[in-house]
Chain A
Amino acid sequence: MPRTLYDKLVDAHKVCDLPDGDILVYVDLHIMNEYTSPQAFSALEAKGLGVRRPDAQLCVIDHVNATRARRAADAPSQILIENLEANRKKHDLAYFGLGDPRQGIEHVVVPEQGLAQPGMLIACGDSHTTTYGAFGALGFGIGTSEVEHILATQTLRYKRLKTILVQVDGELAPGVTAKDIIMKVVNVIGAGGANGYAVEFAGSAISSLDMAGRMTICNMAVELGGRAALMAPDTMTLAHCRDRPHSDSLNFDGETWVSDPGADFDKVLEIDANEIAPLVSWGVSPDQSAPVDGAVPTDTDMTTPKAKAGLARALDYMGLEAGQKITDIGIDSAFIGSCTNGRIEDLRSAARVLSGRKVAEGVSAIIVPGSTLTRVMAEEEGLDRIFIEAGFDWRPESGCSMCLAMNDDVAMDGERVASSTNRNFEGRQGRGARTHLMSPAMVAAAAVTGRITDVRDFED
């Protein structure tokens, strides 16, 4: 019987069936950060258990460190960092701490090290672990109790998901990026529309993306509720996995990591890439977005009383008027970074827009490279000069930073941020902060004009 890529990955990692329909799956790689792991280690200790596979764990500091300098953002953050340092020492685990040349955001550093490869199962106490689907690996986020479960057993109790195929065919117009594809998909399916599903992305518009673009899409698949995102690996995937520190030590071949012809998906969605414009979020959920040449919706666009109430609440929080043109929205600050769009390719696309241009008066603009290696590469290419000359604050340290504002990069109450990140939730970037999600090139364009701007007007 033809199987989907998702089925093959689950089958390959099945240890055994459990009562009541769950299965036990084996975790090839487990990544931990400083804020969702402490209580897992203490629970392990309380139960008198050890770490079953120390070699399969990677600890990374990324959520609470400052990015202006190599330190914790504050005293409680320092405690979190010291806690992970102590736990990794005690259990002898690999550790990318502050000052390590491999340090950075989890989902940026793992592919850099060649630790995400087709056929793997990767878990992490972070929802954006879906990123690894770009490699044909099954990656998903877990809670702290499950972190404990993996540490003790290297397995997880797992419920098989239903599947959606999102077929994206056609060609993206200049200025339209992977970020716009996934924001379009989130807009169409809705936040939570894929709860209980694994989402496979396919089609000519997906296979023509570079690996960074594919990671952006799989990363944000969690915003539609997808517990897993997948893309079939191809020659580009394999090329990306070569010549990295772990390339020679790993090979999860043994299956053709693609969905068989005729494999059955529970749902199929087709998206025409030719029709996608750069998208900008106007609300407080990632599915509340509009094309940059469009407008904030009005009451009449909403069909149900509930949708009308949701719109009113979002506009109130965001300080916007119904029907307002998206390009009439002024910004206070610009942020480029995150596990969604903090890779070297993202920095290059923003730098192309900023080259020879200046950040508008009154706009504060920050760029936080997704990893230390990304920063070094960008500096070798001279990208840092472009950002600095344009007026961006080029941060020397890497981390999640203002994507979730757990460190000291926090937007103020009412501050309006053009952001290359993944979530525009109320309070996400700071209490009362107003986030507009968009691609890194769109953030750069907004930084230059001081208002949300169609990056296609910047194309030469």
Chain B
Amino acid sequence: MPKTVAGTGAPLPLANVDTDVIMPKRFLRTITREGLADGVLADLRFDEAGVRHPEFVLNKDAWMNASIWIVGDNFGCGSSREHAVWGLRQLGIDAVIGTSFAGIFYDNARKNGLVLPMISAEERDALVRMTEVSGDVVITVNIRQRLISAGDLTIGFEMDDATRRALLDDRDDTLDTLKLMDEILAYENRLSGKQWVRVMK
């Protein structure tokens, strides 16, 4: 992944946007990861006939192509469904900037290259105001330096080292962990038989 992601920003300051809202359940009955872009915020973006709600920010010309969202507190709460993150990536969203994210959503984002910088409420509100005024505000998120720049604002953001490293290196966690098999075997050798689950078939 590049050291920075950049694009225009859209304001979505609602608090507690949960993964049921980000990816409604009717899109979950699938065995693939594909075709989820239309599901993102579907009940906010579209009416039941699939017609766009013209007043919703992401349906207005100025913000329709935004690739960075500025969001309310506790974004991504609720269900563990990774479909929410897959859909965001398929919609072309590269970063979601907020004050706090639910833990499972945060980890899912890391696995899929979705950047989640955390900033203070005041800084977030400043970005919301800036992007509300214009859909042309280009926001740059520098992952290596943990810095957001937008207009004349420069904001340092919080991101734990392991997430930052995973985003920068774009590695496959599963294959990486398999290289630690000696450690895993050593751990397993320390377990007693009573600490070895055998689920009855």
Q: Is the CB of A21 within 8 A of B177?
A: no
B 164-199 to A, binary, CB cutoff 8 A, 1 in contact else 0: 110000001111011011011001100010111111
Interface residues of A in 15-55 (CB under 8 A from B): 15-16, 18-22, 24, 26, 28-29, 35-36, 38-39, 42-43, 47, 49, 55
Partner-contacting stretch, out of A76-84, A202-210, A329-337, A450-458: A76-84
Residue A146 at the chain B interface, CB threshold 8 Å: yes
Q: Known contacts A20-B165, A192-B77; is A143 also within 8 Å of B85 by CB? A: yes
Hey, which chain B residues are within 8 Å of A26, CB to CB?
184, 187-188
CB distance from B22 to the nearest CB of A (A): 10
B 96-126 to A, binary, CB cutoff 8 A, 1 in contact else 0: 0000111110011001100000000000000
Residue B21 at the chain A interface, CB threshold 8 Å: yes
Residue B132 at the chain A interface, CB threshold 8 Å: no
Interface residues of A in 55-107 (CB under 8 A from B): 55-58, 64, 74, 76-77, 79-80, 83, 93-95
A406 to B19, CA, bound (A): 14
Residue A348 at the chain B interface, CB threshold 8 Å: no
Q: Is the CB of A38 within 8 A of B31?
A: yes
Residue A217 at the chain B interface, CB threshold 8 Å: no
Q: Is the CB of B198 within 8 A of A249?
A: yes
Q: Is the CB of B14 within 8 A of A313?
A: yes
Hey, which chain B residues are within 8 Å of A342, CB to CB?
none
Residue A237 at the chain B interface, CB threshold 8 Å: no
* CB-contact partner of A21 in B21, B28, B161, under 8 A: B161
Q: Is the CB of A157 within 8 A of B177?
A: yes
Hey, which chain A residues are within 8 Å of B29, CB to CB?
35, 64, 74, 76-77, 79-80, 406
Q: Known contacts A28-B197, A251-B194; is A143 also within 8 Å of B104 by CB? A: yes
* CB-contact partner of B199 in A94, A148, A251, A306, under 8 A: A94
Q: Is the CB of B20 within 8 A of A196?
A: no
Q: Is the CB of B77 within 8 A of A19?
A: no
Residue among A18, A83, A195 facing the most chain B CB atoms (10 A cut-off): A195
* CB-contact partner of B102 in A93, A142, A225, A246, under 8 A: A225
Nearest to B109 among chain A residues (CB) is A143
Hey, which chain A residues are within 8 Å of B180, CB to CB?
15-16, 24, 153
* CB-contact partner of A195 in B78, B103, B165, B173, under 8 A: B103
CB distance from B72 to the nearest CB of A (A): 8
B 70-107 to A, binary, CB cutoff 8 A, 1 in contact else 0: 00111001111110010000000000000011111001
A313 to B16, CA, bound (A): 12
A85 to B201, CA, bound (A): 13
A-B contact count (CB 8 A): 207
A 123-151 to B, binary, CB cutoff 8 A, 1 in contact else 0: 00111000000000000011111101100
Q: Is the CB of A246 within 8 A of B200?
A: yes
Residue A426 at the chain B interface, CB threshold 8 Å: yes
Nearest to B16 among chain A residues (CB) is A285
CB distance from B55 to the nearest CB of A (A): 14
Q: Is the CB of A20 within 8 A of B161?
A: yes
Hey, which chain A residues are within 8 Å of B177, CB to CB?
24, 149, 152-153, 155, 157
Nearest to A248 among chain B residues (CB) is B194
Residue A351 at the chain B interface, CB threshold 8 Å: no
A230 to B107, CA, bound (A): 21
Residue A154 at the chain B interface, CB threshold 8 Å: yes
Nearest to B181 among chain A residues (CB) is A153
A191 to B78, CA, bound (A): 10
Q: Is the CB of B48 within 8 A of A431?
A: yes
Q: Known contacts A64-B29, A195-B100, A406-B29; is A149 also within 8 Å of B107 by CB? A: no
Q: Is the CB of B18 within 8 A of A423?
A: yes
Hey, which chain A residues are within 8 Å of B100, CB to CB?
192, 195-196, 225
A218 to B160, CA, bound (A): 26
B 16-44 to A, binary, CB cutoff 8 A, 1 in contact else 0: 10101100110011111100000000010
Residue B162 at the chain A interface, CB threshold 8 Å: yes
A191 to B104, CA, bound (A): 14
8 residue pairs A–B, Cβ–Cβ below 8 Å: A16-B180, A26-B187, A55-B198, A94-B200, A149-B177, A192-B77, A252-B194, A313-B14
Q: Known contacts A77-B29, A94-B201, A195-B103; is A49 also within 8 Å of B174 by CB? A: yes
A39 to B86, CA, bound (A): 11
Residue A245 at the chain B interface, CB threshold 8 Å: yes
CB distance from A112 to the nearest CB of B (A): 12
For the complex of A and B, 3 pairs with smallest distance between CB atoms: A192-B74, A76-B29, A38-B31
Hey, which chain A residues are within 8 Å of B164, CB to CB?
20
Hey, which chain A residues are within 8 Å of B1, CB to CB?
none
A321 to B73, CA, bound (A): 25
Q: Is the CB of B111 within 8 A of A146?
A: yes
Q: Is the CB of B79 within 8 A of A404?
A: yes
A145 to B164, CA, bound (A): 18
Q: Is the CB of A195 within 8 A of B194?
A: no
Residue B64 at the chain A interface, CB threshold 8 Å: no
Residue A427 at the chain B interface, CB threshold 8 Å: yes
Residue B15 at the chain A interface, CB threshold 8 Å: yes
A36 to B25, CA, bound (A): 12
Q: Is the CB of A127 within 8 A of B199?
A: no
Residue among B48, B73, B102 facing the most chain A CB atoms (10 A cut-off): B102
Hey, which chain A residues are within 8 Å of B74, CB to CB?
191-192, 195, 225
CB distance from A160 to the nearest CB of B (A): 10
Q: Is the CB of A250 within 8 A of B197?
A: yes
Q: Is the CB of B183 within 8 A of A252?
A: no
Residue A159 at the chain B interface, CB threshold 8 Å: yes
Residue A265 at the chain B interface, CB threshold 8 Å: no
